[in-house]
Every structure is written in structure tokens, then in C-alpha cells.
Chain A
């Protein structure tokens, strides 16, 4: 693990531990993961908060995200600039939320943001279609897609405005038996 003190100060590490669901070791491991993506960009000294961002191309190529149909969305949601370019903080944030220690509510909140492709704070039909096509790699026919989307809205849309708000989404998702199990990602 090298000399820890040169990367983070003890306070920084403690703060990160308080702010994420990781232990000190995991944070350092994550840092190395982050750094390994672009060793020439990321300095080994984070004590003075250097302003480093890794482009989405690098983030999206991580094995954890590489095969994820929503990788672009995930990166966009967790990155500060909304473009998928991540600072170390964003990076830790992302893994913290995706880790299995994170509570349902938090996950549900971010899940909503991830599925809300057009950032309008509602999951509307086009979002659903996008989600479905990403999930099935466009293997469903248009009729099937339409039917599934209609069913989803019919099931989960409590206020009948034809789209899912955060409350609808949470109401639906926290009851899902698979939700916690499937949205895990460990480092």
C-alpha cells in the first residue's frame, strides 16, 4: 500500500471514511484503482486537493462498468460536470453508493437519477424505452417495447401523469425484493 501519509492526510482519510461506506483500506484501494486508470494524470499526493478529472472514456473502461448498459448514465450522474468526467471525489462517491452497504433510499435516489436519461426529474416514456432497449440490446420488437413501457407506467405511476416521479419510483423500488441484491457492486 505504500506510504499512506503521502497520498492523504490522516484527516482526509477519516473524512472519506465518514463520507463513504468504505474502510481506510478500501479507500486506498479505490484510489489506486483510480490512479491506475491514468497514472500520468493522477498525482500520488492528494494532500492539497489537486484538481484532477479523468475523462469518461477511462472511467467507462473499468471492468466494473465496462459491460454495464448504463455505464454512461452512471458516470454522468456521479460526475460533477454531468459529462462523465470524474474527480476522485466523484469516483469514491460512485462506488460508495453502489457498494452493498449503502441503504435503500440512497440507492433508490441515485437509481432514479440514472434511469432519468433526460434529466427532467421524471422517468417518462422515452426514458423507459431507452432503459429497456439498453437492457435487452434492442432485441424486443417495437410493439413489445411499447407494451412493456405502458405496463411499467401503469403499474408504478401513482399520480397518473404518465411518467414516474421520484416518489413513484421509490414507492415501487423499495418493495422490490431484488433491488438491494442486484444493485451491489463491491470494489
Chain B
């Protein structure tokens, strides 16, 4: 950390000494270690050295830049005699030793690097501080003093250098030394160390902020050195291996880079989204990113379903028309190709691979003996498993990004200022967009900031918020009751036949109306609350979510009612058809005296069949999805596009300004779109088991809506009035998605586990339960002991302890994570405190400087009556409480006060006496000088 500017000579010397003492004491044992061990130690030291060189040069450069201007850096480099070089060379071994000591302990190069860089920072800071001090003093006529300080240090350095000469390993002199010395074991090791170090330098030369020319020169020297001395070392055993390792590392890095390039090239719509982002801010873009993420996930689900279920069935299963379930029944055949029927997913659609009922219950299909029913079940479950895993993993990753690196909000503006420009932009249009987006994001932050500072009538706001929540709860309850009422009525209607169109579609109409009316209502009510837009968005999302959830579950219950009636119906048909079959077989065997059962010679279209509730459910979901797509696309077309066209072109001949006035252009409705997407995904998850084609439809939908919505938003919408930033991690969306995933998992699992599959359609026909297919596979295809193993595993005696164990594990992990969190918080707090302390110290100094200035102003007047003592006295009193950050700097500053005041002979008397007794105390107050003996 930078030191205070007004350090005096004594302090510097103390510091230097203690440092060098440290260095020496550490160095000696370590030195041995390095020599004795040869390679390992050498490498560690080399690493330390490489780093140090880096920092030295930085320092050097900085200093030169400061001293003379930026251009003349190069030429002086190799002059061993100049002050700068002395300094840096001299600090080098010291630092290196520190690094090596660490190395010995940890064995990890990382440690030493970190340590070194810390050291560097301190050193640099110190130097910077001193320079600053010099600058300041220049004005006050203390130049000589400051110079002397520097010189003193240099002298000190020189002295040290001499001491260290023996084992200092600087570029030039040590080369010569090395040559002269005979090759004892220790020398060998040292030489090896040198070579290793040079190699490190060669490897790291690109990380140095030097001019290319200088790099080339240094590189050449290093290479020559290595060439010269590597021969002397002989070809060590590890050498080749090391070279090989280095080469492989390079290749690996290259591969990683290529792969990364490839991967980023594969991410679609990056530019589209960036374009949207630049115009509408990150919140709208976050919707599109979410959409893209969903598209990726659905693509995988699509691959699973089509690759493992649909395509095998199409390629290897029986063709259309071969068995009843794959044939349109005779009664429907006339209308099976009508457009209206197809649009309702009846007719040919119903008896196609899109739906559950089409799949045959053959245990294996094709030459490969592909177990289709098993695969069907596994894909159904696997889709859920995959989605669950993906959602949770993404959430975890987002959380990691959010809390991983620097604390949120600590450097908001600084980061925005320094990292927001996208250096990859090579297109003026994109650049324009980027400018727009940067401006937007600055405005967002400013809004955020003002939001933080705003401070109004809190009671009124609280009251309004409570009121708003009350109103919204009322309307939610109202809509829930309305749906319940309508469902009840529809159950009554179900028994009647003379229904009007409205009565038939009452439920759907009410639900869409609610979906249309409630969100704007909520939004209006939310105005009362006056939240920050980001928080308001979350509330809005949550409320609409509750509304939709009500709708969805009402729909589900209605569906289950239907399924139950279908199941009863099916039961009777099943019995009847079994009876018919039995009769047929009985007749057959009686007439031909033959027990070979050949199926009755019936056209598959004429066979009596059950209602196949799975397909019915699938059709419901597909219909719902399709109508959802239609509604959302039409809404965009009418609400956004038509409105935009009207506003744009009627504006020429209208009595008020349409663009600025009432209709205006639409804003992009983030909450509605996100929820639409989430609920749509819920439908897909629920329906995909009964209609494998649904996933394909969904992929198409997402793909088209990406383009369509991107176009719509760019063409017809205007940015939100108050642009705001999406929260860094869109874990909120993910949370919604996870909830929906669970909610859609429930009914599907329920049906799989408890409802009997239809007897004459689908891959599980003829089984009592769908999961019987797994049992069958275990029994027939796996070796016998696996069956017993599974039966043991399914034993409650084993399951209960396993569940218990899992619960315990969760509990344990939870508590450890909590502990980690606590310690993390603690550390963060400590860091913050350290920072604050630092800041306060500086602050205080500034403020004392202010006092000082006032004092200076007063000085001439004080020549008559010197009232100075009280003030230093006070400061002295404060000194013991220096642990408090606020007063930490005071003792120190008074010295400066003295120094500055000294020109005035009158003031000199009373004030100057103070430092004498206070000397050591003041030293103790300083952060770094603590504990150092006065000299």
C-alpha cells in the first residue's frame, strides 16, 4: 500500500533495514536448500526471479516516465551503474528470497508469485509515495531534504548490494562470475538455476510491458546465455521431459483457444441480441438471452426425443396402416384430411408419430433390436432429468458469477467506465449501437444511484404498498374463484348436449380474458408502490405467475376429470373387445380344431378401439401450445405492429400528436414475454410424454419467435421510459422455470406411476403400469442376478436408510455451506473494514491538512499571542486511541504540520518542541513502521 507522503528520513532507513534483515535471515537457509536440491529449488527461484524482473522494470519505467518523460526508456537499461538499476537490482534478490522461502514451504509457485506481487505493490507504493512527497515538498522549499532522502536510500542499497554480491545473480556480472568458477556441485546447481531463470524469462518475455525492441534485445541475450551454458550442464534427464511438457502445454493452450473460438462462433444470434441490447438496454436483451438458452435446451430435448423415439419408430417400426393403432378408423376416414380436422390435430395427425398412441408395443424393433418402449419411457424421464440438471446447473453458475469475483456494486461506475467498451467492434453501425448502449447503461446506473439516494415519506409509501398488495391479492382471489366457478359450471355442462358456442368454450374464454385483463391491472396497481423498475418487474412477474399457475392447474384438473371418464369408457371397451376376441378364438379352434391363434381377418381400420386417453391428453397440450403461439404472434402483430403503423402514419393527419401522446408506440413487455416463455415450456414438459412431436413444434416456435420478436422489437417498440438494467444473473427467470418444471413433473410422474396405460395404443399397451417395461427389461434382458439385485434395492428396508442418509447428507452440506457463507461474509467485512480504515486515514490526513492550512493562515497573527499548545495537546491526547481509524493519521501529520510551520520563527518555539518526545509514538502509529526500532 502506498505510504504516507511525509515520511522522514529516519523512517525510511528503518524500514529498509528491517526489510533487508528479513531478507538476509530468510535467505541463508533457503540458499542452502536451493543449492542442495538442485532443480526443484532452482525452478522456484527462477519463478520468483522472473516475476521480480517484471516488476522491477515496471518500476523503473514508471520512474523514468515520471522523471524525464516517456520516451527515453530503452537506452539506459544495461548500465549497471545508474541509480535506478542499482535500486531495482538490489531489491530483486531480496524479493526473490522472499519468494523462494515461500516456495520452499508451499511447493506451489502460485504462492510465491502472489507474495512477490504483493511485495512489488508495497515497494512501488512506497516509491510512489516518496515521489509524491518530494513533489509536495518542492513547493515548500524542502527539496534538498527530499533529495537527501533518496540518496540515503541509494547509499543504503549500495551497501547491501556489496554484501550480497557473492550470491547476487544479476544478468551481467554473474555471468562472468559463473564462467570463472569451477563446476562444483553447488555451482552446477546455481548455473542450472540461472539457465532455468533465463528460460523462464524467455517464456515470460511477452508478459512484460516493454517496447518490442527492448524485448528482442533481452530475449537475444537470454537465449545466448542459455545456449552457452546449457551445454555445460549436460543433457539432464528431466530436461527433455520438461521441454516436452512445455511443448504440450503450448499445444494444449492453443487447442483450448481454438476450441473457445469455435464455441463462441457457434453461439447464435449474438449480434442480434447485442443490437437489441444497444437499443433497449440489458433487461430486454435478457429476455432474448433467456429465449436463446431455452432454444438450446429444447434442441437437446428434441434430439433426444427424435433420435431415440420418433426416428426409430418411423424407420424400423411397422408402417402406417399395418395395425389398428396406426390406422385412421373407418368412421373418420372421410374427414381425416379436412383442413379443420387436421388443425384440430385429429384425423391423420392423430394417428401419426406425433402422438403417443401411434407407437407399437413391440418389445424390440428392427435389426438392431432397439427396445422402443423402454427407450420411450427412458426418454420421457431423461428429458425431465436433463432439464432439471441444466436449470439447476445454470442457476448455480449464475450464482457463482454473481458472488464470485469482486463484491457487487463496489465498482459499478468504475467498471462501467473502464470495461464497457467492446474492443472487438469493427463495424461502425455496431459501434453506434455500442455508444448508445453505453450511454444507456450509464443512465441506468445513474437512475439506480438516484434511487438509492431518494428518501421520501416512508409511511405513505408503506401504506400504498400494503394497499397495492391487498388489491392484488383480492383480484387474484377473484380470478381464482371465477375459474373455479367456471370449471364447476363446465362440469355441469358436460352432461348436456344442447350447448351454445359460448357455453362450450366458456373456460378457455374466461381464462384468456383473465390473462389479458389481469396483467395490465396489476401493472396499474403496482404504480402505487413506486418500486424501482427492476423490483417492480419481479413483483409483476410473481403476480402474473400466480395467476397463470391458477389457470394451468385448473386446466390440469379439468383434464384429469376427462381422463378418468375416458378410463372408465376404455375399461368397458376393453372388456368387450376381449370378450369378442375370446369368442372368436373359441369359435376358431372349435371349427378348425387348431389351437394356433391367428388374429381375426379384419381390416385394421375397422377394429373397435378404446379412446386412448394418452393421445387425447397429448392433443390437448399440442392444441394449447399451438393456440398459444397463434395468440402471442397475433398480439405482436396487432398490439405492436399495427399500432406502430397507425401511430406512425396517421400522425400526419391527426388532431393530436400520436407518437408522444396517447397511443404512442408499445414498450416491450418483458414480464409477459418471460412468463409466456416459461409457461410454454411447462406445457412442453408436461405434454412431451404424450406427444413426442410437441418438442419439435416447440423448437420451431422458439426459432421463429427469436427472429420474429427481434424484428418486432426493433421495428415497432420503443425503449422503456426508464431504462433499467436486468439483475446480473437472471436467476429469477431460472427460479420460475425450476418451479414450473417441478409443477409439470408432478402430473406426468403421477400418470406414469399410477394410471394404467391404454390397452390398445401406445408403447406400453398390455401392461398394467407404464414402468412395467423396466421390470420386463430387467427380467428378460439382464442377467438373473441383476434382477435379484434390483429387487433387493427396491426393498423398503434399504430405501428408508438410503433416504435417511440422503437427508443427513443434505443437512450436513447445508450446514457446511452456511458456515462457509458466514466465514465469507466475515472476510468480506474485514476487507471492507480494512479499506475503510485506509480511506479514513487518508481522509483524516486531508482534513488535517485543511486544518493545517487554516493554521498557516493564522500564523502571522499568532506572532503576538501564541495559543498553539492546546491544539497539539489535543492531538497528542488523541494519539492513544489510534486504533480507531478516524484518528490514525493525526500523530503523523502533526510532524508535518511542524515542518511546514517552521519558517515562522514565532511558531517554531511552541510547536517544534512536540516531536521530540513523541517520536517513537508517532512511529508506532504508522502502519508499516510498527515495531521497528528507532535509529
Contacts and interface: CB of A to CB of B under 8 A. Distances in A.
19 contacts: A15-B216, A18-B202, A21-B206, A128-B417, A132-B417, A136-B438, A151-B449, A158-B1, A159-B842, A161-B132, A167-B121, A172-B411, A173-B419, A175-B405, A177-B406, A182-B424, A183-B419, A185-B423, A186-B424
A165 B128 contact: yes
Given A68-B425, A93-B211, A155-B412, A18 B442 contact: no
Interface in B827-854: 835, 838-839, 842-843, 846
B790 interface: no
B209 interface: yes
B420 A135 contact: yes
Contacts of A128: 417
Interface centre among B66, B121, B207, B220 (most CB of A within 10 A): B207
Interface in B361-410: 401, 404-406, 410
B2 interface: yes
A185 B423 CA distance: 6
Interface string B199-212: 00011011111011
B158 interface: no
A19 B215 contact: yes
A83 B874 CA distance: 54
Interface in A123-151: 128, 131-132, 135-137, 139-140, 144, 147-148, 151
A175 B206 contact: no
B626 to A, nearest CB: 40
Contact of A89 (B70, B212, B838): B212
A184 B66 CA distance: 29
A167 B124 contact: yes
A63 to B, nearest CB: 4
Interface stretch (B427-435, B640-648, B705-713, B733-741): B427-435
Nearest to A77: B70
A101 B207 CA distance: 10
A15 B268 CA distance: 38
B883 to A, nearest CB: 20
Nearest to A161: B842
B446 interface: yes
B213 A67 contact: no
Interface string B433-458: 00100110011011001000000000
A121 interface: yes
Interface in A69-105: 69-70, 80-82, 89-90, 92-93, 96, 98, 100-103, 105
A111 B125 CA distance: 19
A64 B861 CA distance: 64
Contacts of A178: 415, 419-420
B178 interface: no
Given A18-B219, A67-B431, A135-B417, A155 B449 contact: no
Contacts of B70: 82, 119
B245 to A, nearest CB: 18
B413 interface: yes
A81 B70 CA distance: 9
Contacts of A106: 207-209
A109 to B, nearest CB: 5
Contact of B71 (A15, A67, A82, A111): A82
A177 B401 contact: yes
Contact of B2 (A15, A18, A110, A167): A167
Contacts of B426: 63-64, 66-67
A115 interface: yes
A18 B439 contact: no
A10 B257 CA distance: 25
A42 interface: no
Contacts of A182: 419-424
Contacts of A69: 421, 435
B274 to A, nearest CB: 12
Given A156-B414, A158-B1, A184-B424, 17 more contacts: A18-B206, A19-B219, A63-B426, A70-B421, A80-B213, A82-B70, A82-B71, A132-B417, A147-B449, A148-B413, A148-B446, A151-B449, A155-B412, A167-B2, A176-B411, A176-B415, A178-B420
Among B121, B261, B421, find the residue whose CB has the most chain A CB atoms closer than 10 A: B421
A152 interface: yes
Given A90-B212, A137-B439, A182-B422, A152 B839 contact: no
B418 interface: yes
B83 interface: no
A179 interface: yes
B65 interface: yes
A184 B1 CA distance: 30
A1 B427 CA distance: 27
A130 to B, nearest CB: 11
B58 interface: yes
Interface string B267-293: 000000000000000000000000000
Contacts of B209: 106, 109-110
Contacts of B427: 67
Nearest to B425: A67
B124 to A, nearest CB: 7
A140 B442 contact: yes
A-B pairs, 9 with minimum CB distance: A175-B406, A89-B212, A67-B431, A160-B842, A151-B413, A156-B414, A136-B439, A63-B426, A176-B415
Contacts of B206: 18-21, 96, 102
Contacts of A167: 2, 121, 124-125, 128
Interface in A9-46: 15, 18-21, 23
Interface in B694-709: none
B624 interface: no
Nearest to A21: B206
Contacts of B431: 67-68
Contact of B439 (A140, A147, A151, A161): A140
B62 interface: yes
A58 interface: no
A7 interface: no
Task: Give the most central of B71, B202, B216, B843: most A CB within 10 Å.
Answer: B216
A136 to B, nearest CB: 4
Contacts of B410: 155, 175
Interface string B746-776: 0000000000000000000000000000000
A98 to B, nearest CB: 7
Interface in B53-105: 58, 62, 65-66, 70-71
The winner among B215, B404, B839 for most chain A CB atoms within 10 A is B215
A102 to B, nearest CB: 8
Contacts of A148: 413, 417, 442, 445-446
A3 to B, nearest CB: 23
Contacts of A93: 211-212
A70 B435 CA distance: 13
A161 to B, nearest CB: 7
B893 to A, nearest CB: 14
Contacts of B128: 165, 167
Contacts of B843: 160
Contacts of A109: 58, 209
Contacts of A179: 415, 418-419
Given A15-B219, A100-B257, A106-B207, A176 B419 contact: yes
B150 to A, nearest CB: 18
Contacts of A155: 410-414
Nearest to B450: A147
